[in-house]
Amino acid sequence: MKILHVDASARIDGSNSRALSRHFVETLRSRAPALKVDRLDLATHPPRHFGALETAAVSMPEADHTPAMRDAIADSDAIVARVLAADALVIGTPIYNFGMPSTLKAFFDHVSRNGKTFVADETGMRGLLGDKKAVVLMAAGGAYGPGEMFDGLDALTPHIRAILNFLGVADVTAISAWPLMFAGAEAANAAMSAAVREAKALANAWTR
């Protein structure tokens, strides 16, 4: 199995989402020593934002690209190639402002490419990543359960699920550690322990 392991927290040290994704990958590796891991750290290697050149390039045939467009779209081509080469995506991410960090949004803007990762034409739309699965391991300061502080405000899980489903990835598991900030150390520790347990159980299931 080959995975693309993506981390989006701006924090390198002390990041809970990085700890979760690390537990997941380490459990996978312990069960499948031949596991290949392609590592993409969006904090140290943030993808460029889509600008005029990138948007022009993705909406015209490659044969018509100017040298400037080819240069602008090279990052996107490289990211798409890494996604296509993976059997599974492992994404560690925090919730920032109720959604995903801008680096992760930029990553998905690069990944969603008509003709490469999905097809949209007069016959309809279909994703091309149906052979892959994904796990999203997320950390958040507040609690999002029924009646809790941020009930109904989790815009991260449905957004990532929508993008991945659109690209054809139907098997998406979300594992959340929350609340990590506003409910005391005991609640934070319990939330992390429960999420680590879930992450390890899923990694075991992936290698069964």
Ligand X SMILES: Cc1cc2nc3c(=O)[nH]c(=O)nc-3n(C[C@H](O)[C@H](O)[C@H](O)COP(=O)(O)O)c2cc1C
Find the binder of ligand X among 3, 91, 96, 104 (CB under 6 A).
Answer: 96
* Distance, CA of 72 to CA of 50 (rounded, Å): 9
Find the binder of ligand X among 119, 181, 183, 190 (CB under 6 A).
Answer: 181
Q: Does 140 bind ligand X (CB under 6 A)?
A: yes
Which CB sits closer to ligand X, 72 or 95? 95
Find the binder of ligand X among 50, 98, 118, 166 (CB under 6 A).
Answer: 98
Q: Is the Cβ–Cβ distance between 133 and 86 less than 8 Å?
A: no
CB of 13 to ligand X, least distance (A): 9
Q: Does 18 bind ligand X (CB under 6 A)?
A: yes
With CB under 6 A as the contact rule, which of the stretches 41-49, 68-76, 94-102, 129-137 interacts with ligand X? 94-102
Convert residues 59-78 into a mask of x (bound to ligand X by CB under 6 A) and - (unbound). --------------------
CB of 180 to ligand X, least distance (A): 5
Q: Does 141 bind ligand X (CB under 6 A)?
A: yes
With CB under 6 A as the contact rule, which of the stretches 8-16, 71-79, 82-90, 165-173 interacts with ligand X? 8-16
Q: Report the residue count for the chain.
A: 208
Closest-approach residue to ligand X (CB): 94
